[in-house]
Amino acid sequence: MNTKLDLKNISLKEKVKKLKNTFKESALHTENQRKVPSENMQLLFEIGYFDAVKPKRYGGDELSFFELVDANIELAASCASTAWVAGLLSAHQWLLAMFPKQAQDDVWLENSQALICGSYAPVTHATETSDTYILNGKWSFASGCDHAQWSLCAAFVPEGEGFTPAFLLVPATQYEIEDTWNVIGLAGTGSKTLVLKNVEIPKHRILKFKDAVSGQTPGSQQYSGGVFKIPLLMGVPSCLASVGVGAAQGALESYLDTVSARVTRGAVAGHNNKMAEFPTIQLRVAEAVSSIDAAREILLRDVIKAESLAASKKILSIDDRLISRRGQGFSVLLALRAVEALNASTGGLGLNLDNPVQRAWRDTNAVARHISMNWDAVGTMIGQQMLGLEPKGQF
């Protein structure tokens, strides 16, 4: 397929739409092999998916973050695992642009098509030398690591009398991948474990969390575009949340395709009755479509607002950042509500592991368990702020 010729001069979302059936047809294979197929990755490369929010200076398209999140919703409607990996690896191009220029050069001047996976939990303390940090340990949940040439490994680094969390940029040649990914949701993301043993990282390949979450980073000062001034947690979790919203959208599409023409066969429900005529089915469809529409509107509205605020060159307030986190978490909660409504009425056929509604239900539940979208974690943080308490959590 000559996708470069076929898909020229249209939006990223429209490019994804043209490949929708391809990704949908490979969704079961993606899940079974527990990682995104190379063929899917190649198609995404061909439509410029990983260039979306990458700086033009290094060959990227420097699109708005809205365009990436909107396209990722569409991609997730076909295959949530592919969208989870693609959204993250594309967003990590944006995240690399927050690092010092020398670190960006290390990656992109060596290989302009390099991809970066990541493990965000600071699981260990780095040892400092005069010009490097040394890492030892295991970093879990490195989604898409089989396709990445670099990784962002979080650790505590010395600062003053204590330590501060930071991302350290590590080439794939300096870590091993341990296959630990056997799960029931987002099974095709290949979110395996990275093993580092006495790995030395030059000090310029570091980005401190406190800089990333404020948007005031070493890299952001190099670019005029507002997209590179968006704080970390107003950006990356929006890509992750888009997977839940898109998976719910895909579940509704599959549900309507099946139920619209389905008739009952069981003795209890009666024989040969059209399911579409059951009021309970109609209510579930109405609840699902309303929840998905609201989730999409909230998520995209907040992405647009975040980019607008960042472009104004003002320092974003805690309130600004919390509103974004609220929208990310609540959009996934709404997506979860949609898939719960649909999956509960798929009957015996819904028990099959290849049922797309059931897969979307499992995938959306997996998205909702991520700490960035988990409503127990995000919601309590919002409640604390509203009640005049100090919010505790990731924002």
Handedness of CA 37, 43, 46, 48 (dihedral sign): negative
Handedness of CA 44, 251, 190, 28 (dihedral sign): negative
Assign domain 227-264+272-387 to its CATH architecture: Up-down Bundle (1.20)
Q: What is the pLDDT of residue 314?
A: 77
Q: What is the pLDDT of residue 148?
A: 98
Q: What is the pLDDT of residue 277?
A: 79
Confidence check: pLDDT of 289 > 80: yes
Residue 141 and residue 153 in contact, taking contact as beta carbons nearer than 8 Å: no
Is the domain defined by 12-97 classed in CATH 1.10.540.10? yes
Nearest-angstrom CA–CA distance, 364 and 372: 14
CB burial of residue 174 (10 Å; 0-12, 13-18, 19+): middle
Q: How is residue 157 annotated by DSSP? A: E
Distances (CA, A) of 387 to 306, 321, 346: 24, 17, 41
Q: Which residues contact 263 (CB under 8 A, 6 or more apart)?
A: 272, 273, 274, 275
Lowest mean per-residue pLDDT among 142-146, 266-270, 281-285: 266-270
Q: What is the pLDDT of residue 272?
A: 72
Q: Which of 26, 35, 16 is nearest to 75 (CA)?
A: 16
DSSP 231-283: -HHHHHHHHHHHHHHHHHHHHHHHHHHHHTT-B---TTT-SS-BGGG-HHHHH
Q: What is the pLDDT of residue 8?
A: 67
CB burial of residue 349 (10 Å; 0-12, 13-18, 19+): exposed
Residue 94 and residue 55 in contact, taking contact as beta carbons nearer than 8 Å: no
Distances (CA, A) of 132 to 11, 54, 196, 205, 206: 42, 27, 15, 9, 10
Global confidence as pTM:
0.94
Report angle CA 247, 141, 205 to the nearest 5 degrees.
115
pLDDT confidence tier of residue 149, bands split at 50, 70 and 90: very high
In the chain, where are the structural domains located?
A: 12-97, 115-208, 227-264+272-387
Nearest-angstrom CA–CA distance, 377 and 388: 17
Residue 82 and residue 35 in contact, taking contact as beta carbons nearer than 8 Å: no
Q: What is the pLDDT of residue 71?
A: 98
Q: What is the pLDDT of residue 276?
A: 82
| Homologous superfamily assigned to 115-208 | Butyryl-CoA Dehydrogenase, subunit A, domain 2 (2.40.110.10)
Q: What is the pLDDT of residue 380?
A: 96
Nearest-angstrom CA–CA distance, 350 and 251: 12
Q: What is the pLDDT of residue 269?
A: 54
Nearest-angstrom CA–CA distance, 255 and 260: 8
Confidence check: pLDDT of 145 > 80: yes
Nearest-angstrom CA–CA distance, 48 and 42: 10
Nearest-angstrom CA–CA distance, 147 and 131: 29
Tell me the pLDDT tens digit for each residue of 62-103: 999 999 999 999 999 999 999 999 999 999 999 999 999 999
pLDDT confidence tier of residue 266, bands split at 50, 70 and 90: low
Question: Both tokens of residue 319?
Answer: 């309130």
3-class state of residue 315 by DSSP: coil
Nearest-angstrom CA–CA distance, 245 and 337: 11
pLDDT confidence tier of residue 270, bands split at 50, 70 and 90: low
pLDDT confidence tier of residue 3, bands split at 50, 70 and 90: very low
Q: Quote the mean pLDDT of the chain.
A: 93
**Residue with tokens 């899940």, as numbered in its chain:** 31
Q: State the CB neighbour count (10 A cutoff) for residue 18.
A: 14
Tell me the pLDDT tens digit for each residue of 349-374: 888 888 999 999 999 999 999 999 99
Q: Which residues contact 94 (CB under 8 A, 6 or more apart)?
A: 53, 54, 65, 227, 228, 235
Nearest-angstrom CA–CA distance, 388 and 146: 45
Q: What is the pLDDT of residue 180?
A: 97
Confidence check: pLDDT of 9 > 50: yes
Domains 12-97 and 115-208 share a fold: no
